[in-house]
């Protein structure tokens, strides 16, 4: 431990984990493995920081949120509820994650982006700006989500399957059926029409 870090309550720091700077770990939070909490970061509640994860800057992790593997949470990002950041994912800026949202792979979430409910961001996806991803929406691959309208979802009323269309780099479009990438020809026409209206209409 360095400078003035605080570990209070029933919080535990184990393994080769480090709490440094002015960071605070409290409540029943667990910091383990080779993970690090530094800067002015706050980890509280029942949050878990493990693996080689790093939480720093002015980031806040609370509730039952998990930051694991080689992931990084920085800036003024706020994680709560049961969200999870894993793999080599990065969450920064003023991004807010809540619900059971997940960020994994090498995905990057930044800016004022908001992920809620069961939102899932993976692969090489970039979510930034004022983007909002919620419900059961899933984005992956080369997604580049910069505002709320860049993600359109449609739930099949008969099967309950959630279809998601999202913007990719260079103004492309990717379709997911559940969490599986599919060809545009398989997508419901209503979904494709909704993306055209959301992305290309002026108004």
Q: pLDDT by residue (tens digit) across 63-110?
A: 999 999 999 999 999 999 999 999 999 999 999 999 999 999 999 999
CB count within 10 Å of CB 155 equals: 12
The count of structural domains within the chain is 2
Residue 74 lies in a domain: no
Q: Is the pTM for the entire model greater than 0.85?
A: yes
Distance between CA 102 and CA 112 in Å, rounded? 16
* Per-residue 3-state assignment (H helix, E strand, C coil) for the chain: CCCCCEECCCCEECCCCEECCCCEECCCCEECCCCEECCCCEECCCCEECCCCEECCCCEECCCCEECCCCEECCCCEECCCCEECCCCEECCCCEECCCCEECCCCEECCCCEECCCCEECCCCEEEEECEECCCCEECCCEEEEEHHHEEEEECCCCCCEEEEEEEHHHEEEEEECCEEECHHHCCHHHHHHHHHHHHCCC
Residue 73 lies in a domain: no
Residue 34 lies in a domain: yes
Structure tokens at 122: 């993976």
- Would you say 179 and 162 are in contact if contact means Cβ atoms under 8 Å apart? no
Domain shared by 58 and 104, yes or no = no
Residue 9 lies in a domain: yes
Domain shared by 103 and 51, yes or no = no
Start-to-end CA distance of the chain, whole Å, equals 54
Domain shared by 41 and 99, yes or no = no
Residue-wise pLDDT for 114-169, tens only, equals: 999 999 999 999 999 999 999 999 999 889 999 888 999 999 889 999 999 999 98
Owning domain of residue 31: 1-68
């Amino acid at each position: 431990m360095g400078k003035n870090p605080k570990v209070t309550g029933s919080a535990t720091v184990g393994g080769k984990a480090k709490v440094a700077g002015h960071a605070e770990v409290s409540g029943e939070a667990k910091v383990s493995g080779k993970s690090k909490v530094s800067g002015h970061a706050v980890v509280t509640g029942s949050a878990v920081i493990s693996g080689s994860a790093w939480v720093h800057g002015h980031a806040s992790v609370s509730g039952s949120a998990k930051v694991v593997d080689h992931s990084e949470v920085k800036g003024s990002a706020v994680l709560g509820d049961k969200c999870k950041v894993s793999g080599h994912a990065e969450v920064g800026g003023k991004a807010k994650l809540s619900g059971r949202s997940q960020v994994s792979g090498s995905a990057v979430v930044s800016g004022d982006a908001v992920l809620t409910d069961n939102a899932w961001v993976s692969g090489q996806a970039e979510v930034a700006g004022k983007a909002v991803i919620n419900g059961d929406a899933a984005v992956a691959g080369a997604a580049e989500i910069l505002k709320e309208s860049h993600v359109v979802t449609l739930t099949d009323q008969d099967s309950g399957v959630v279809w998601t269309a999202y913007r990719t780099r260079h103004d492309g479009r990717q379709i997911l059926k559940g969490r599986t990438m599919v060809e545009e020809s398989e997508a419901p026409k209503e979904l494709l029409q909704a993306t055209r209206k959301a992305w290309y209409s002026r108004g």
